[in-house]
Structure 1
Amino acid sequence: MGIPADDQGPAWLHDYGRIDADIEAMSQFAHSLIDEIQQNYTPYATRVIADMESEHPVPGFDELLHFLTAHKTASEAATDNVYWYIEGGTRLSNAAADVSSRYADADAFSLAQTRDVLEALEASGAGTRTDASDDQVVL
């Protein structure tokens, strides 16, 4: 008994073969991503968040009050996105570093299994899982 057609993913992906992981590139990606986040994103993000969280005076008329309420909601969503970019980027970098370090000493014919990559992402809190066949990734 095979996987039901509804659970096999999009038809345009059915002819794709195995996906191999380039361990050296993954290690370089992990290091460059965390460096980029720490050096070029986080310092500016904290300033942006502080600016966006500044309070406005209470307005004297309803139209401005409605505008400032909508503005506050949008600012909170934007600051959440700025923060979660740091969090998500750090988790992705940690997962890539973990997989690349596990396979750093492997020979050229040994490849990281998809399961290993997914386990590293799961351990970092990225929230992925696979179905019973380990062939499909559900985010």
Structure 2
Amino acid sequence: MWKLNRTHIKSLKKVHNLGLRNIKFIHGDINHMPGTILFSKNIRKIFINNPDPWPKDKHINKRIIKTDFLNKLYKVLKRKGKVIIKTDSQDYLNFIKEEINNSKFKIWKKNEELMLPLSKFQKNYNKIYAIVINKN
């Protein structure tokens, strides 16, 4: 069991105040989520914010954004669904682009074409790179 922190509570209140009923927060190991908790072809957008880039060569196999994971996400997305990925690592972004090219997804928009809101952390620190991939 996990405890709610201030950020979780703020997000839940915002969703409640906006009357949103089509949003779900999930806490857990994402590797076990697609196809188990999420129903096939039920999701319109998935946001992946700042996944660990595991910059050392010996840790690259621990990266979450890999072809097999992307193909699992592809299965749970509705037609024309999107995955929005943000990272502060240019090297990881390049790795992600290669993995996308090996997956069923197509790149829809790249960093310079996006106007996504930045978090407080993102405003104060590293440049954020973003990419949106699209299910046909």
Regarding TM over 0.5, the answer is no
Q: Relative CO higher for 1 or 2, CA cutoff 8 Å, sep ≥ 6?
A: 1
TM range (shorter): under 0.3
Q: TM-score, normalised by structure 2?
A: 0.23
Larger Rg: 1
What's the TM-score, normalizing by structure 1? 0.23
More helix per residue: 1 or 2? 1
